[in-house]
Amino acid sequence: FLVLNRTASVYSLQKQLGVSGSTIRKDLTFLEKKGMLRRVHGGAILIGFQEPSIPLFVDPSYKERYDYNLHEKTKIGETAAELVENGETIMIDGGTTTLQVARELSRKKRELTVVTNGINICTELIKSNNLEVVLSGGYLRRKNLSMIGEIAGSMIGKYTASKAVLGINGISTSRGLTTPHLFEAEIKKSMIKNSKQLIIVADATKIDKVSLMAVAPLSVVHFLVTDNRVTDEQFFAFVLHSAFSDFFIYHYFAIIPI
């Protein structure tokens, strides 16, 4: 299958072979060590095949994304939660990295109002009696456990927040913030428009990646929270781009002027 298609997602290989995702991931790791393929977010690409300039638009399942880089996402969530002050109204979109932010905010028992389109985010936040939660209506996108569509966007547009905390599939100096799903992109745009500051939470595998739908330029980002696998070249590229007021990496942080 991979030889014929040159690229494949973990989900598509599961369907083809009838085995679990964990088995597929172990096999792909083994083949990568043998130099036969290269692992990418959500799948693999055959060695010798030119990766397109707009990369694979794989859309893995929620379970696959939840397990992927879970340790890094947890640390990112802990760091991002420190940027939220008591008494604020914030927006959080649905996702597996933003879930870790919500989990940490719930654990800290902050007094906040949170507007979200994420079913998983809402489920986590209601564990704390200190958090007022507004869940948008709309159409349920099962792969992300998030509400999308016109109703969701319209409801989010009725609120104003001090900060928006968003996950993203791709972030690059050339193309800004990108995501593979049209309606998810529209929700993210609405949250950005209605918030004073934007916090992007993304593990290092999302850096220098470009996906299908443009969300926003880097100039709208106030904080990027990522993990310590970011290379020096990537770090300084963002410094030179002057994209962020703060670039947080969970083991250390550096202030970058706008």
Radius of gyration of the chain (CA): 18
Model confidence at 156, pLDDT cuts 50, 70, 90, reads very high
Mean pLDDT confidence for 148-154: 92
Task: Please check the confidence at residue 243 and state whether its pLDDT lies above 70.
Answer: no
Helix axes 10-17, 21-33, angle to 10 degrees: 110
Rounded distance between C-alpha atoms, residue 213 and residue 24, angstroms = 28
Q: What is the pLDDT of residue 112?
A: 96
pLDDT over 90 percentage in the chain: 45
Give the global pTM. Answer: 0.73
Mean pLDDT confidence for 239-256: 50
Domains delineated in the chain? 2-58 (1.10.10), 66-255 (3.40.50.10470)
Among the ranges given (43-52, 162-171, 184-193), the one the predictor scored with the smallest mean pLDDT: 43-52
Task: Please check the confidence at residue 124 and state whether its pLDDT lies above 90.
Answer: yes
Q: What is the pLDDT of residue 252?
A: 39
Choice between 250 and 62, residue whose per-residue pLDDT is larger: 62
Mean pLDDT confidence for 35-41: 71
Q: For 81-141, what is the HEC assignment?
A: HCCCCCCCEEEECCCHHHHHHHHHHHHHCCCEEEEECEHHHHHHHCCCCCEEEEECCCEEE
Q: What is the pLDDT of residue 58?
A: 56
Choice between 5 and 72, residue whose per-residue pLDDT is larger: 72
Encode pLDDT of 179-222 as tens digits.
988 899 999 999 999 999 999 999 988 998 988 889 999 888 88
